[in-house]
Amino acid sequence: MPLTKRIIPCLDVDHGKVVKGINFIQLKSAGDPVELAKRYSDEGADELVFLDITASHEKRDILRQYVENVAKKINIPFTVGGGIRNVVDARNVLCSGADKISVNTAAVEKPEIITELADAFGRQCIVVAIDAKRNLSPSPGKVTIQTVDGPVWFEVTICGGRISTGIDAVAWALQTEKLGAGEFLVTSMDKDGTENGFDLELTCAISERVHVPVIASGGAGLPQHFVDVLTTGKADAALAASVFHYNKYPISLVKNYLCNAGVPIRQ
């Protein structure tokens, strides 16, 4: 059997509670990250990603506490991202029990942080998150991909897609891979929330060029979308939130679907 493709539910956490619509029945408290993590883990999730969106000075303690509680309860790998800006923040999260940390804005503002983190903890626990948006205006020097919409390049955005940086996402992936990225979490800001499929061209453009694993994110709505991104899109893993939260397509169903489509999956 080959290495399997990974299915990763993503949980947005604010002040230690999972936010965004969660529609599980049989949960005592819908927003408890530990309970949800356990549930996803039992349903066959291969990994989990927690995105901490708490913006306050008491952040660190809250973060440390829930990361620790999650680590005590689940026995699959999990990544924590959101507001990690330096080695101290990263150490707090890792020593509380996270397996990987994800950096986004901090890396764009100060790329050397990736090397510092990789040197301190090993590159396998450094996930570089890239939020990318299609840019249809031709621009010299950018990696241009032919799509059904014509030639596009992918632009890195920060702060939840609100700020465009002018940075070419493909070039940025190659640069940060050299700096020490151990994995990429590539989110399509065009597809995120649409539920009409991953951006296969974006995922493929990055995955074909880097030598570390790529997690595709943004746009999952149907089981077939997972097949598409893990085959045509050449992703190593696929991340989704709402399809799993609303229990529209439970993880086990998506995994069965993938298995029937011939995608190597852990069951």
Partner 1 sequence: MQKAVIFDYGVGNLLSLKCAIERAGLDVFIGSSTQDLAQADAIVLPGVGSFTPVAKKLAGFKEIIQTKVTEGVPLLGICLGLQLFFEESAEGPGEGLALFKGKVVQLQGDLKIPHMGWNTFNSVKACELFNGINNEKAYVYFVHSFYPVPFDECVVCAKTTYGLPFTSAVVDKNMYGLQFHPEKSGDVGLQILQNFVKIVTR
**Is residue 169 within 8 Å of 202, Cβ to Cβ?**
yes
Q: Indicate if 52 belongs to the active site.
A: no
d(CA 236, CA 112): 26
| DSSP E strands, 148-213 | 150-158, 163-168, 183-188
Which span sits near partner 1 by CB under 8 A: 23-31, 67-75, 197-205, 253-261?
A: 67-75
Residue 182 within binding range of partner 1, rule CB under 8 A: yes
Q: CA dist 225 to 124, 199, 231, 235, 237, Å?
A: 27, 10, 10, 12, 12
CB 211, min distance to partner 1, A: 6
Structure tokens, 92: 């707090």
The answer to whether 28 contacts partner 1 (rule: CB under 8 A) is no
Question: Please, what is the minimum distance in Å from the beta carbon of residue 93 to partner 1?
Answer: 9
Q: Which residues of 178-210 are buried (b: 16+ CB within 10 A; e: fewer)?
A: ebbbbbbbbbbbbbbeebebbbbbbbbbbbeeb
> Judged by CB under 8 A, does residue 81 bind partner 1?
no
Q: Which of 92, 104 has the CB closer to partner 1?
A: 92
Catalytic annotation, pick one of 32, 46, 52, 131: 131
Q: Which of 97, 219, 223, 233 binds partner 1 (CB under 8 A)?
A: 97
The single residue among 55, 95, 159, 163 that binds partner 1, judged by CB under 8 A, is: 95
Among 26, 75, 137, 146, binds partner 1 (CB under 8 A): 75
Among 10, 16, 39, 41, binds partner 1 (CB under 8 A): 41
State how far the Cα of 80 lies from the Cα of 69, in Å rounded to an integer: 13
Query: Among residues 114 and 152, whose Cβ is nearest to partner 1?
Result: 114
94 binds partner 1 (CB under 8 A): yes
Query: Does position 205 bind partner 1 by CB under 8 A?
Result: no
Q: Rule CB under 8 A: is residue 71 a binding residue for partner 1?
A: yes
> Does the protein bind partner 1 through residue 76 (CB under 8 A)?
yes
Distance CA(205)–CA(252), nearest Å, equals 29
Contact 185, 129 (CB under 8 A): yes
CA separation for the pair 122, 29 (Å, rounded) = 36
Query: Exactly one of 12, 52, 168, 236 is catalytic; which is it?
Result: 12
Instruction: Compute and round to an integer the Cα radius of gyration of the chain.
Output: 18
Does the annotation mark 12 as catalytic? yes
Q: Which stretch binds partner 1 (CB under 8 A): 53-61, 70-78, 107-115, 152-160?
A: 70-78
- Rule CB under 8 A: which residues touch partner 1? 1-6, 41, 46, 68, 71-72, 75-77, 94-99, 120-125, 182-183, 210-213, 236-237, 266-267
